[in-house]
Chains A and B, each alone.
Chain A
Amino acid sequence: MRTFIGRMRWPDYLILAVLVFFFGYIWYTIEGTLNYKWRWELIPGYIIGYNADREAYFANILLQGLAATIRISIYASLLALVFGTALGIGRCSKNLTIRMLARTYLELLRNIPPVVVVFIFFFFLSQQLIDALDLARWSRGIARQEDIWLWEFFFGDMRRFPSIISGVIVLALFESAFVGEIVRAGIQSIPKGQWEAARSIGMNRFQELWYIVLPQAMKKVIPPLANQFISLIKDSSIISLISVQELTYKTVEMVASSRMIFEAWITTAGFYFVICFGLSQLFSRLERRREGQG
């Protein structure tokens, strides 16, 4: 910190002054013109609420949303890893049809806005899947049972289970295109000699891929995959549009009922930032350590 201040020159002070002025002006507008009443003190109550009757704390709307976002992100990224790996392998296939199908999927997802993709996946795929499997009735059945803490730990409110599942599927399908490209790049970065060496000890194409090329490729693409995971957490806010009750959706809900527009959105932004920035710091530290090991 000391060295940072020590290295400041007059342009730095000028830039800072302009910024302070700019944000000060916005602040002044909100305070003066809008006559907005800040109620930051209420925010903690929306994170962890206190139930006076039962004399117990409970996870309130924002924390519920955060938990849902974390769950959905983890499940969706696992699913996206599976889909995406299959897609990446498909992109490197010797079979023209498989290669074209994988390419088509990728280009469609790349060239359609995410929001539109999410709606299409939701109405055409995950909704049909949930109806076909009768998931809604099944999860209501579980919700009525007692002692379902394990279910709730993994999926939150069981009555909302179908919505979580469709959120996970939609997000996974969406992200799998990008994971697929990462995996493809990884596979193609493995020298041809590796395939040839595997082939010359009698391996078939699948064995070459599975035992020799893919393990090396996946190890190489861990850093970009980790970044994609962070992107996925951010992208997960899109599925609030299909009424999945994650952090963004819950914030909209909270704003509607409490009218604490600024506090709620700033808090939510803070949650996303802390998680994503924290993970990116963690990943880069892990990567440095991995490189240190050689």
Chain B
Amino acid sequence: MNRHPIIEVRNLDKFYGTFQALKDISITVHQGERVVICGPSGSGKSTLIRCFNALETHSSGSLTVDGVDVFEGSKEIRRLRQEVGMVFQQFNLFPHLNVLENLMIGPIKVRKISRAQAERTARKYLDRVHIPEQAEKYPAQLSGGQQQRVAIARSLCMETRIMLFDEPTSALDPEMINEVLDVMVELADTGMTMVVVTHEMGFARKVADTMVFMEDGRIVEVAPPDMFFTAPASERCRMFLSQILEH
């Protein structure tokens, strides 16, 4: 793989008071790579990817994202966040704005792009997530799956180079999970760098280049999916997989 690293984490620790949420994390994500992070709840997966766009600040260790050294108080962080999209478990759409405005507010206010240009971009990405007809609606009028697809489009409208997904399907009703995953698979096909925290192992098998298993604030295993699913090296990973794949 002749790609250059886009996220580099070295010996990262994260404390909440005396509780250590992340322990000595080191991992590299390359450009265009699709990384799926899984693990039991409370294992620090979400905390880790929230560090990637500085929604959480790490306590020690180094973190470089897209060439930017991330640390608390860095002036570069806001520029970095424009390059790194984040999709949340609870969608977090802006309820007072309609779908189109949700997509346009970032480009207009942050990137200072013209309204007309921003609207063209917004409609393009609404097409991409298959809901062009919902442009004028408000988030509360949409189903969960549609809301999450709007949230993905909102990040894409910033012309991001990296997409982070924090359990994007966990708050969805089962019948809506696939419409979101389909959009994510299509996004993966465009060569986007993606880091996804999820328990959707079918999705992981289909798109992941690298599987990461976390437990108790540590990275326990990093492996390509075929190895990860067939012959996990660690006992804990094997147990976790048997729990979520059984049935």
Contact = CB atoms under 8 A, between A and B. Distances in A.
Contacts of B92: 191, 193-194, 196-197
Given A196-B88, A211-B105, A202 B78 contact: yes
Interface in A187-208: 191, 193-194, 196-204, 207
Contacts of B155: 200-201
Contacts of A211: 105, 109
Task: Using C-beta atoms within 8 Å of the partner chain, give the interface range for chain B.
Answer: 20 to 34
Given A194-B92, A216-B95, A219-B96, A202 B55 contact: no
Interface stretch (B20-28, B66-74, B79-87, B227-235): B79-87
Contacts of A212: 94, 105
B104 to A, nearest CB: 11
Contacts of A193: 88, 90, 92
Contacts of B95: 216
A215 interface: yes
Contacts, number: 61
B93 interface: yes
B169 interface: no
A109 B110 CA distance: 39
A193 B151 CA distance: 12
Contact of A197 (B78, B94, B140): B94
Interface in A5-52: none
Contacts of B93: 197
A201 B88 contact: no
A191 B88 CA distance: 13
A230 B109 CA distance: 37
Contact of B81 (A191, A202, A215, A294): A202
A198 B53 CA distance: 12
Contacts of A196: 55, 86, 88, 92
A197 B88 contact: yes
Contacts of B5: none
A212 B93 CA distance: 10
B53 A200 contact: yes
A247 to B, nearest CB: 38
A203 B78 CA distance: 7
B96 to A, nearest CB: 5
Interface in B83-142: 84-86, 88, 90, 92-96, 105-106, 109-111, 140
A195 B140 CA distance: 18
Interface of B: 53, 55, 78-79, 81-82, 84-86, 88, 90, 92-96, 105-106, 109-111, 140, 151, 154-155, 158
Interface of A: 191, 193-194, 196-204, 207, 211-212, 215-216, 219, 294
Given A199-B55, A200-B81, 12 more contacts: A197-B92, A198-B94, A200-B53, A201-B81, A201-B85, A201-B155, A201-B158, A202-B82, A202-B106, A203-B78, A215-B96, A216-B94
